[in-house]
Structure 1
Amino acid sequence: MAGRNIGVAVDFSSCSKAALRWASTNLTRSALIPLAEFSDVTKTYSVSPDKETIEILTQVANQRGIEVFAKILYGDPAKKLYEAVDLVPLSCMVIGSRGLSTLKRALMGSVSTYIVNHAACPVTVVKENM
C-alpha cells in the first residue's frame, strides 16, 4: 500500500475521532502538513484541535512508522472534502457519521452521504459506537 494517500476527515467531534481510530487501526498510510508542524499551523489559523486527536495521530506516526499529514480546510465541509480528493490527491477517504435521523439528514444534509455519492475515490464511513 506504499504511495497511497488516505484522507481522514476530522472536525474533532467524537464521530470523527471514531473514524480516525478506525483508519489508524485498519489502514497503513494517512493524508498536508507534517504532524511535527501541525501545532504551529493550528495556532496561526486559530484552529483548536483537541488533545485526544493529536494523541491518536502521534501514536499512529510513532508506532506504525506512518507519515501523517494534515490539511486545514475552511468552508462547506462536504464541498471541501470533495475537492480534497483531487487536490491531495487521495486514494480513499475515511469519514465519521453522526448518525442523523432520516428527517435531520433530509433537512440538514449529510456530509458523509454527499462524499459517498460524489467522491471519485472509495469512501469508508465509520459509525461512532453508541
Structure 2
Amino acid sequence: MTKQPLTPVGVQNKLTELYALADLALQTEALTIQSFFKEWVKANFTLNTKQDEYLDNLNDQIAAYFGSQCSLCFSSKLPIDLIYPAPPSGEYSKWTGSSNNLAVKSDGKEKPTATGSLTFEFTYTV
C-alpha cells in the first residue's frame, strides 16, 4: 500500500485503497490499527516533523480509543472523515478529537457489525 499525506484527501485515498483489499487483508489492517494505532498511522501516512512528534506524544489511552474506532470502521467499510484546518501562526496547542455515530452489534462469535461514520478533527487553541 502507498503512503498518503495526512490530509482529508489522503485519508479518503487510503480508505479507498483499504476497502479494495480482500476481506482477510482488510481484517488484518483492522486488527493492526486497533493494537498499534500510532505505528499504523506512521506506516500509512507521510507525516511532517510536527505531526510525527505529536503522534509520538499522543496519550496511549486515546491512541487505543482511536485505534478501536478505526478498526470497527475498517471491518465494516465505514466512512472516516478528517477535518484538518491549517494551524495558526505563532504559539498554539493542538487538540485531536473524534466524534462518531457508530452503532455496533455482535452475535458474540463473528466480527462485530457496525453502521455509521467516524470523524477526526484537529483544532487549535492560541
Whichever of the two has the greater Rg, that structure is 2
Pick 1 or 2: higher relative contact order, CA cutoff 8 A, min separation 6. 1
Q: Is the pair's TM-score, using the shorter chain for normalization, greater than 0.5?
A: no
User: TM-score, normalized by length of structure 1?
Assistant: 0.26
- Looking at secondary structure, tell me which structure has more strand per residue: 2
